[in-house]
Chains A and B, each alone.
Chain A
Amino acid sequence: MPKVKIPRKSTLIDMTAMCDVAFLLLTFFMLTTQFKSDESVIVDLPSSISEIKLPDTDILNISVTRDGRVFFSIDNKNYSRERLLNKISEKYPQLQFTAEEEKAFVLTGSIGVPLAQLKGYLDLDETERKLYPQPGIPVDSTNNELGVWVMQGRLSNPNVRITIKGDQECSWPIIKKVMDTLQDKNVNKFNLITDLEADPNKLKGI
């Protein structure tokens, strides 16, 4: 009787393909991830059912902390931060920035100092800057620097979308002042940044 030879098959699985896929995905996620920027402002967001996602670029953000300090930040797409600083010094000739200060401004996150203190703030080194007690941007009707920032921010990046990131415990009059400032600058459409909350209508559907 002829012997039928059954070729023995290995039970090992070829891992190469799987490995390829894993690293392909890894590369994709690594490249697309936007890490949280060095945020000196701590804001506890209120929640809403709104599901509109915040875009990554073209954002001009106004943060309001619990104690009512106002911070300003803009993303640096197409060097809009550099342009913004140039526009600020054009408008205020007494504020001339050195190359180092400009670099510091581009790298730093939110700005929460009055214009008069801005130069001094940017001269600090990175660690000192983090510890510096920023008093917030003035939004009073007599000295509304936030309006200047918003105006120049929009000029340096016309596609910018304005967002307000307020702390949930922050009192209403300050947010009102910020909104009034925006309205004065003809910004009538803006976004409030919130956390996600379950929609009760959808919950009922389940």
Chain B
Amino acid sequence: MAELEQKAVGKKGKKKKGRKKMSTRIDLTPMVDLGFLLVTFFMLTTTFTKPQTMEINLPVKPKGEVTEEEQNSLKASKALNILLGADNKLYWYRGLPREPIEPLTETNFSADGIRKVLLEKNITVTDMVVLIKPTNDANYKNVVDILDEMNICNIKRYALVDITQDDLNEVKKLNQ
């Protein structure tokens, strides 16, 4: 079986007629079994422990004071606002909070919810910018989910923005 073994047989070939030799061969099968078992174990543990990461780039914080005008320089008609509320609730509207082009609507994180809206608006609204505004009641999962939704819907222009009091008031009104 083993290379070593064969050589030994070759040398002693002439004496073969003599007494019956005990084989010095070792059955390697269990060793191979064990080897592969461990290989499988290490293979599985290495590939599955590596977590994924999602890269985000935030804008450089502006130095000094920024005027209201500069902040609102984005054209209202291009903006799709997504508000993240408590209990995994999600609202969206287009335009400015007080005079929206499309009114505040509640939706959810499912494929028929916000994704449908995003895909639709991405086609109908040219140069759309999504403004993601998490409220203080939102949790981290909501934010990651909505950022992920941007990747899924292939939306390149989006921003994480602080929520304004107007937005909060509108949400409150809707829930009444």
List of A residues within 8 angstroms of B46 by Cβ: 29, 32-34
**Contact between A33 and B141 (Cβ–Cβ < 8 Å)?**
no
Closest Cβ of chain A to B53, distance in Å, is 4
List of B residues within 8 angstroms of A102 by Cβ: none
* Contact for B134 among A45, A172, A183, CB less than 8 A: A172
Residue in B55, B136, B140, B141 with the greatest tally of chain A CB atoms within 10 Å: B140
Cβ of B113 under 8 Å from chain A:
no
**Contact between A16 and B152 (Cβ–Cβ < 8 Å)?**
no
**Contact between A46 and B141 (Cβ–Cβ < 8 Å)?**
yes
* Contact for A183 among B38, B45, B49, B58, CB less than 8 A: B58
List of B residues within 8 angstroms of A201 by Cβ: 152
Residues facing B in A15-57 (CB within 8 A) are 15-16, 18-19, 22-23, 25-26, 29-30, 32-34, 36, 45-54
Cβ of B56 under 8 Å from chain A:
yes
Q: Which residue of B lies closest to A52 (CB)?
A: B53
B 52-69 to A, binary, CB cutoff 8 A, 1 in contact else 0: 111111111100000000
**Contact between A19 and B141 (Cβ–Cβ < 8 Å)?**
no
Closest Cβ of chain A to B109, distance in Å, is 11
Compute how far the CA of A149 lies from the CA of B151 in the bound complex, rounded to whole angstroms: 31
Binding-face segment, B14-22, B24-32, B122-130: B24-32
**Contact between A172 and B138 (Cβ–Cβ < 8 Å)?**
yes
List of B residues within 8 angstroms of A26 by Cβ: 35, 38-39, 42
Cβ of B12 under 8 Å from chain A:
no
**Contact between A50 and B134 (Cβ–Cβ < 8 Å)?**
no
Q: How many residues of B contact A (CB 8 A)?
A: 48
Compute how far the CA of A206 lies from the CA of B1 in the bound complex, rounded to whole angstroms: 47
Compute how far the CA of A26 lies from the CA of B46 in the bound complex, rounded to whole angstroms: 12
**Contact between A48 and B32 (Cβ–Cβ < 8 Å)?**
no
Cβ of B139 under 8 Å from chain A:
yes
List of A residues within 8 angstroms of B111 by Cβ: 200
Closest Cβ of chain A to B31, distance in Å, is 6
Cβ of B137 under 8 Å from chain A:
yes
Cβ of A190 under 8 Å from chain B:
yes
* Contact for A46 among B2, B57, B140, B152, CB less than 8 A: B140
**Contact between B51 and A45 (Cβ–Cβ < 8 Å)?**
yes
Q: Give residues in B with beta carbon < 8 Å to A.
A: 1-3, 27-29, 31-32, 35-36, 38-39, 42-43, 45-46, 49-61, 84, 111, 115, 134-145, 147-148, 151-152
Instruction: Jot down 23 A-B pairs with beta carbons below 8 A, ordered by A.
Output: A22-B32, A22-B39, A23-B35, A29-B46, A30-B42, A33-B45, A34-B49, A36-B49, A46-B140, A48-B54, A50-B148, A52-B53, A53-B52, A54-B52, A168-B139, A172-B135, A172-B139, A172-B142, A182-B58, A183-B61, A189-B55, A189-B58, A193-B53
Q: Give residues in A with beta carbon < 8 Å to B.
A: 12, 14-16, 18-19, 22-23, 25-26, 29-30, 32-34, 36, 45-54, 64, 163, 166-173, 175-176, 179, 182-184, 186, 188-197, 199-201
